[in-house]
Amino acid sequence: MHDDTRRRLMLASAAALALPPLVARAQGTKLRLGLMLPYTGTYAQLGVAIENGLKLAVAQAGGKLGGREVEFVRVDDESDPAKATDNVNRLVTRDKVDVLIGSVHSGVVMAMVKVARETDTLLIIPNAGAGAATGALCAPNIFRTSFSNWQPAYPLGKVMIERGHRTAVFISWKYAAGEEAAAGFKEGFTAAGGKIVKELYLPFPNVEFQALLTQIASLKPDAVSCFFSGAGAVKFVKDYAAAGLKDKIPLYGVGFLTEGVLHAQGDDAEGLLTTLHYADSLDNPRNKAFRAAYTKASNNMEPDVFAVQGYDTGLLLAQALDKVKGDLSNRAAVVAALENAVVDSPRGPWKMSRAHNPIQDIYLRRAEKGVNKVVGVAWKALEDPARGCKL
């Protein structure tokens, strides 16, 4: 049983006459959402977009979830795995949040997964793609509203083969997200008949790309594939062009490469092809309404995939909390509501897989004048294989 619930039950039985019933009190108190996101560092902008999206969904639900007012407790995790255990323990033990929401970085989320499993706290992951969270370490109380690192990378292999590229170099940061994206890409590319000639890595969040770009120039693959995101993605795209490679060796990427950063990348991003579970130009009324509302609510910021994932976290919580009328103490009912939710997302409607990761379409997009435009669906209803998950 959840510590908080146990304490409330003890209090309730000790002072049964003096206190209103447990459920009524639980519903009357504010719902505490613990946001553990990066607000500084290379992924700072991603954390802000997730929070903005989440807050938009809560505002659209009337500022309440399941009838309860919402209180946000925030911690800046700096995308630093070394500080992650302390940060998440603070939210659970000191701040006693009802739901943990985070994070962006796969290394940070692994600490959240561990603490969520140990304390049986509900965890919703609005970005980090670490495979284990919905794989070997999957759990009834852990859900993801974003993607697994494998998921948007796997279809990119087939896309590149179809465009005539038989050899590729993959380049990224050396940590779980980069390595798992590389593995997903490699699986798709080799299954379609391609060959990876080299994987190149630099430590996260370094942006000294020069030596690696020199290696790419001498390896002369048919094309390059990559995983970078946030401020580092701006620098990589600009350096790739400045090294004179853009017109010689076509650059592809897992779609985060051009999310939230297209204006900063300018002409150097023009024409880049990427795969992702969202595209700015998706032509459905839900996406259009979301984009207009987000821009209005967020000081004219443009939404991106991270904003969508934050928004969907709010939509998912709203549905589940409505089902249980705000009473999170009935864990089985909460889990069932989260498992059975259909999220009416700007990316298109999606459902949870058995392992609690979205089953979703992966789009092929082209960057055109500051917009990630849909070229087509690279893979329909793609489900992460969830290797090792025993749910």
Footprint of ligand PHB (CB under 6 A): 43, 104-106, 127-130, 149, 177, 229, 256
Nearest approach in angstroms of CB 42 to ligand PHB is 9
Toward ligand PHB, which CB reaches closer, 309 or 329?
309
Q: How far is CA 378 from CA 74, 96, 251, 346, 360, in A?
A: 36, 42, 17, 18, 11
Beta-bridge partners for 37: 76
- For ligand PHB, which is the closer residue by CB, 27 or 225? 225
Q: With respect to ligand PHB, which residue has the nearer C-beta, 19 or 264? A: 264
Measured from the CB atom, the residue of 107 and 194 that comes closer to ligand PHB is 107
Strand runs labelled E in the chain: 31-37, 64-65, 68-76, 99-102, 122-125, 142-144, 167-173, 195-202, 223-227, 251-254, 273-276, 342-343, 350-352, 358-368, 371-382
What phi, psi does 378 have (nearest 5°)?
-75, -35
Q: CB 340 → ligand PHB: shortest distance, Å?
A: 26
Question: Least distance (Å) from ligand PHB to the CB of residue 137?
Answer: 14
Measured distance CA(30)–CA(122) in Å, rounded: 16
Smaller CB separation from ligand PHB, 130 or 352: 130
Residue 304 CB, nearest distance to ligand PHB (Å)?
10
C-beta of 46: minimal distance to ligand PHB in Å?
6
Closest by CA to 109, choosing from 38, 45, 201, is 38
343: helix, strand or coil: strand
